[in-house]
Amino acid sequence: MKGFLSLKTFTLLTFIFLSSHANGTTTNMWTQSTESDFSKGITQNVSVHSNGEIRLSPKTEAISGIKGAFVWSITTDLQNKVFVGTGDPGTVYFIKNDSEAVEIFKSPELYIQSITTDKHGNLYAGTAPRGIIYKIDNKGEAAVFCSLPVPYIWDMAVDDDSNLFAATGNEGILFKISPDGVPSVFFDSPETNLLDILLDKHNSVYVGTEPNGLVYKISPSGQPEVLYDAIEGEIHTLAMDSLGNIYAGTASGAQAQVPVASTAQPIVQTGVVTPLFKDEKAWDLNLPQELPMAHPAPMQSQKPAAKDAEIPPKATGFPIAPNYVYKITKDGIIQKIFEISQAFILGVSMDTLNNLYVVTGNNPGVYKICADQTSTSLLNIEETQVLCCLNTNNNELYVGTGNFGKVYKIMPSFVGEGVFASKVLDTTSLSNWGCIYWEDLQPEGTKITLSTRSGNCEKPDHTWSGWSTSCTSSGEKITSAPARFIQYKAKLQTTNADITPALKTVSLS
């Protein structure tokens, strides 16, 4: 991660490289102890913390069975069951046994852009680009819940009275939809897109907007106020902690892009619901083979449908400026708590311990921001976009990706072993090595060992020495052959998945 986050201050330990020269020896020094230092290395199952520590990464599992190109949305119900919305085509999956995505509803839409559940166990799927919301009820029956005169249902949330709120684009309207599917305009903003929505315990509604980067709070009576006007043009994602503080992530710097159909899809009258198993129920509910389509509900108040559907802002261009996570306290104080360059912040989610998780696109990543505002890069993602994330009540983090639609489950426990390989140090001339020193934390059941290798070309190849025997104690002699270049490798291990060792500082002499 690049950014404004403060780096750990440290006292530079001085050790000496003895370099042979015609006129004698010169002294050089090399110590690594900061996030900036370690971020230049290669990580495998380890994470670099913003305070300059290397720790084991959390256990991660890839969920099998996703067929769509984009995983747009993830939600959970009161029983902690996880559902995923994808495209293209717009399909809803249920995560079975925490490991497999099973198709439960295949809609006639391009994208399931948002999904949510209510306290009765009903599942709602908001779609693009025809603005239709589908409902799969607690009996397993699926139908059109309502059809809105807008192209995009960006996000949805349900209040205590089972009213569904839909944040939409491209006319910036917040709809309130009654439990029987009758929509009304709850807030008609001057913005183009309302991109994310959340509700507090008092049923006040919060939305993030584009193109002016606003965070609105709308009272239960419909009275809006602006909580924050960001410099960035897009507040893409929102989260709230247990204290009522709001976290807003930006995704500005370039027009986001997603694939769109070359021609409009015909309106079809039936969809298909696929049972989880041939002889079993869908998440304990029977789903019909044929999906009845209800008629669109009449609008109590509405605008005409937009003539042309714009390209949705949920995807990627190339951000030319950093994006941020802002913390908006209950007292209205604004803090920047996270910065990232060359990336969009596309999702934020809070766990039960008030740790915030951030996912990014264009420069894909998954980050954890602790309550003390230190941060960790958790996972290297192969896909180009991480589009959404969700924490369950078990503090398991699900993330969805795009350009290859995948879901990963990141657990609160640690992997058993990980490796960090430093960048290659160039001493500029043939050097004899002294000792390797390091500072660490090794709780009971954990272990850290270091080894080195050396060579005379910048990129390690077959001419380099092999990795030395592992050093188990700081201050051991470096046994690698004299050379111009040197590299170290740290192996972190634990026998207890609940704890991790931490490597703080490494110095070579």
**Three-class secondary structure assignment of 352-389:** CCCCEEEEEECCCEEEEECCCCCEEEEECCCCCEEEEE
Residues 499 and 402 both lie in one domain: no
For residue 324, being part of any structural domain is answered with no
Q: Length of the chain in residues, anyone? A: 509
Is the Cβ–Cβ distance between 499 and 459 less than 8 Å?
Answer: no
Strands (E), 362-501: 365-369, 375-379, 385-391, 397-402, 407-414, 417-421, 425-432, 435-441, 446-455, 476-477, 483-494
Cα–Cα distance between 429 and 119 in angstroms, integer?
69
Task: Examine the fold and report which residue of 414, 438, 469 is the final residue of a domain before the chain moves on.
Answer: 414
CA separation for the pair 23, 25 (Å, rounded): 7
Within its chain, how far is the Cα of 144 from the centroid? 30
3-state secondary structure 285-345: ECCCCEECCCCCCCCCCCCCCCCCCCCCCCCCCCCCCCEEEEEECCCCCEEEEEEECCCEE
Instruction: Give every CB contact of residue 217 below 8 A, 6+ residues apart in sequence.
Output: 204, 205, 206, 224, 225, 226, 227
Which of 364, 381, 414 is the last residue in one of the domains? 414
Regarding whether 144 and 44 lie in a shared domain, the answer is no
Upstream peptide bond of 211 is cis (omega within 30 degrees of 0):
yes
Q: Which of 381, 414, 447 is the last residue of a domain?
A: 414
Residues 466 and 346 in one domain: no
pTM, two decimal places: 0.81
Q: Verify that 90 and 39 share a domain, yes or no.
A: no
371 domain residue, yes or no: yes
Based on the domain organization, do 99 and 243 belong to the same domain? yes
Question: Same structural domain for residues 291 and 431?
Answer: no
Q: Is 320 inside any structural domain? A: no
Which residues fall within 8 angstroms of residue 67, CB to CB, at 6 or more apart?
86, 91, 103, 405
- Cα–Cα dist 29/210, whole Å: 49
How confident is the model at residue 246, as a pLDDT? 98
Low-confidence ranges of the chain (pLDDT < 70): 1-29, 254-319
Residue among 89, 103, 167 nearest 133 (CA): 167
Looking at the fold, whether 335 and 448 belong to one and the same domain comes out as no
Euclidean distance between CA atoms 277 and 279, whole angstroms: 6
Token pair for 384: 């180009």
Residue-wise pLDDT for 70-124, tens only, equals 999 999 999 899 999 998 889 999 998 888 998 989 999 999 999 999 999 999 9
Residue 36 belongs to a domain with what CATH number? 2.60.120
CATH number of the domain enclosing 108: 2.130.10.10
Residues 215, 291: one domain?
yes
How remote is the C-alpha of 30 from its chain's centroid? 34
Q: Which residues of 373-394 are buried (b: 16+ CB within 10 A; e: fewer)?
A: bbbbbbbebebebbbbbbbbee
Does 8 fall in a domain?
Answer: no
Q: Is residue 314 part of a domain?
A: no
Domain count for the chain, please give it. 2
Q: Measure the CA angle with vertex 128, ends 124 and 133; round to 5°.
A: 25
Do residue 37 and residue 179 come from a single domain?
no
Q: 343 with 381, same domain?
A: yes
Domain-embedded: residue 307: no
Do both 267 and 171 map to the same domain?
yes
∠ at Cα 92 (353, 175), nearest 5°? 75
What pLDDT score does 25 carry? Answer: 58
Determine the 3-state secondary structure of 35 from DSSP. Answer: helix
Residue whose C-alpha is closest to residue 115's, from 93, 97, 96: 93
Do 30 and 103 fall within a single domain? no
Residue 313 covered by a domain: no
Instruction: Look at residue 9 and tell me if it is in a domain.
Output: no
pLDDT of 288 reads: 36
pLDDT at position 286 is: 32
b/e string for 151-171 if b means 16 or more Cβ within 10 A? bbbbbbbbbeeebbbbbbbbb
Question: Distance between CA 132 and CA 105 in Å, rounded?
Answer: 14
Residue 113 backbone zone (phi > 0: left; psi -120 to 50: alpha; other: beta)? alpha
Domain holding 193, by residue range, is 59-302+329-414
The end-to-end CA distance of the chain, in Å, is 28
